Structure 1
Amino acid sequence: MTVGNRLKMLRLEKRLTLQEVAFKIGLAKSSYASYEGGHRNPPIDKLVALAQIYHVSTDYILRLTDIPDSVESLQKQHLQWDGISLSEKELEIVHQVVELMTDKHQENSKIKLGQMDIG
């Protein structure tokens, strides 16, 4: 599945037209259609707007995860630790820690690939 396929799937799930989504993010219909068609990738500001419209994470749109949940949806789930519900601030901290861990993992993977090219 490509980014374009994922965008199209999300749009159809929300029962929105190309024109409606394009209008919501401030684009011409043809420009948004080029995202779904895989001819262009959305810039960061449009990616964030699309994630907000579809109530998913940008990572989900970019296919970095198959879990569509955004931080807001995690907050709605009333996550708990040892039977105690986490506050919004605590959920944000958990989110930041996970992002740091995945960033570090990606950084280590790039270093390993770079070392393989040298040898």
Structure 2
Amino acid sequence: MTVGERLKMLRLERRLTMLEVASKIGLAKSSYASYEAGHRNPPIDKLVALAQLYNVSTDYILRLTNTPDSVESLQKQHLQWDGISLSEKELEVVHQVVELMTEKHQENNKVKLRHMDIG
């Protein structure tokens, strides 16, 4: 399965059209269609937006794991900090922190874009 095929599968599972997905992540339909067709790979910001839209990890979209949930994927990798394995609860906290950081980054980008439109 390619990245494009995985994106198509995720979109169809959620009963979304290409236009709906493209609109939700701030793209033209033709740009999104090129991802699904395998002509282009999404840039990092769009990859993150797609992962958030589908509630999966970017690793899942990129086919680095077959586990859609990022916390579950982290658990399978036995994530450690200073040689100490993290518990399921600790991994959930890590997941929440990363989500908050990503949301903050996206909000900052939106603010910058709004300022660019005004100026």
**Residue in 2 aligned with 1:53?**
53
**Residue in 1 aligned with 2:16?**
16
**Aligned mates of 2:57, 2:70 — CA distance in 1:** 5
Q: How does 1:16-55 map to 2 (within 5 A)?
A: 16-55=16-55
Aligned-residue offset at 1:37? 0.2
Aligned-residue offset at 1:91? 1.4
Identity %: 82
Aligned-residue offset at 1:70? 2.3
**Residue in 2 aligned with 1:63?**
63
Measured against aligned partners, the alpha-carbon deviations of 1:5-54 in whole angstroms (never above 9, x if no partner) come to 00000000000000000000000000000000000000000000000000
Structure 2: runs of 5+ lacking an equivalent: 74-86, 96-119
**Residue in 1 aligned with 2:104?**
none
Tell me the C-alpha RMSD between the 2 structures.
2.2
Residue type of the alignment partner of 1:40 = R
Moved over 3 A (4+): 92-95
Residue type of the alignment partner of 2:48 = V
**Aligned mates of 1:53, 1:13 — CA distance in 2:** 12
Aligned residue pairs total 82
Structure 1: runs of 5+ lacking an equivalent: 75-84, 96-119
Aligned-residue offset at 1:86? 4.6
**Aligned mates of 2:88, 2:70 — CA distance in 1:** 16
TM-score normalized with structure 1 length? 0.63
Whichever of the two has the greater Rg, that structure is 1
